[in-house]
Amino acid sequence: MGLFDFLKRDRLPSDPVDRIKHRWENHSNGLINDKKCASIDSSAAKFSTIGFETWFLGLEQRLGQSLGRRLAHAALEHQEYFLNNLDVKSPSGRSPDSWFENTIDWQTRGLGRYRKLEDRDEVRLLVEHPASAPICSGLLTAAWEKATSSRHRFVWSQNTQDGLIVTLNLDDKELPIPSKQKPIWPISEVSYGDSDLSEETWEDLRVESKGIWSIMNERKMILHRDLMLRFEEFCLPYISKIESGRQDLVWPLEDNQRSLWWTAAADSMRKSQFDSGLHILVSTPEDWVGIARRHLAMNGLGGVQSAEATDSHGGVEIVLSGVFHPALSGGILLACWERAHGRRGKLKCSFNSGAVHIFLSSSVDIAN
């Protein structure tokens, strides 16, 4: 069977649950790989739709900016790059009902479903049950542009949680073809499929309708690392300071704007995870391997290779075997540390020996 045969009508699993499980593969380094994207960055992560929205609003609050348009344009650029570089049939024609592969893409990502409302002087598309309004707007605009071979300006409106209207108008603006995005942190090259982790990850998968699925009664969606990297890049030129939240997280970055974004992203993730009521027990540093499996690897956010104590008060150095994004994964680990020890912690990240190292410890010195 060819690498992309699962997208063809005659080879595609008929069961929606099987379609999702077939596309996303958990790997030993704690990442989720998209089987459809072997030729480009295939790393993806699973988010609850409510959790992602909470994280996103926290990021806006900390940076003191509205970031919806930047997330939407990052999604558009991401989807355009994927459509240009994957050996799959691209959307074609002005009838979204005929975009079979693109529809399956949305279904298996958990994004919702779409249809055309109007195609006159302006085009109006409806997204039912969108996982994220900015992301769905950008992805759908990219598909329409690919299908019609023309650029469009787009706006979206969402009166209820169940309906999103994307309005498109022709645009003669010339935009560069999206280029490849590459993580600036060390990437683990050694990984293999982890069938036990995959079975545990998808054990309670429930497909409620086309484009909507949940695990443990919580709606989920899949986002590629490529999209997150583009979103980060779209934000950087406008960042000057952090308006709220913690500012003492340490990153091995020379770019101050990027360091600010990572700090805001990590702190927002820490806060949302901490507030979710995590129950974390740590008796030895080795416990962090299991903690990471539950709170990182099952969602494709990374895995722990090793953990060693750095002090007698819970301080620990964690070496990650894989990482979706250091800020997101680090924020979750910091929330776990604070839940386990019942006090405020601090985070320092470094890139050593081809791996990402996360140092967690108390934010204040404790006497022995």
Specify the 3-state DSSP secondary structure of 119: strand
- At residue 4 the predicted structure's pLDDT band, cuts being 50, 70 and 90, is very low
Give 293's Cβ-side CA count (13 Å radius).
13
**What pLDDT is attached to residue 10?**
44
pLDDT tens per residue, range 17-27: 999 999 999 99
- At residue 14 the predicted structure's pLDDT band, cuts being 50, 70 and 90, is confident
**What pLDDT is attached to residue 173?**
83
Q: What average pLDDT is seen over the chain?
A: 92
- At residue 12 the predicted structure's pLDDT band, cuts being 50, 70 and 90, is low
Residue 356, sorted as left (phi over 0), alpha (psi -120 to 50) or beta, turns out to be beta
The residues that bridge with 307 in the sheet, in sequence order, are: 318
Give 200's Cβ-side CA count (13 Å radius).
14
- Say if residue 6's pLDDT is above 50: no
**173 CB neighbour count, 10 Å cutoff:** 8
**What pLDDT is attached to residue 1?**
35
Distance of CA 70 to the CA centre of its chain: 15
CA distances from 220 to 140, 205, 368 (A): 19, 10, 44
- Say if residue 309's pLDDT is above 60: yes
**What pLDDT is attached to residue 89?**
85
Contact between residue 266 and residue 347 where contact means Cβ atoms under 8 Å apart: yes
Query: Whole-prediction pTM value?
Result: 0.93
The DSSP result for 212-251, as a single string, is EEEETTEEEEEEEHHHHHHHHHHHGGG-----SS----B-
The predicted model gives 223-234 an average pLDDT of: 98
The predicted model gives 340-346 an average pLDDT of: 95
State how far the Cα of 211 lies from the Cα of 172, in Å rounded to an integer.
Answer: 32
Domains and CATH numbers, the chain: 17-238 (no CATH), 242-362 (3.30.1380)
For 197, the token pair is 């982790």
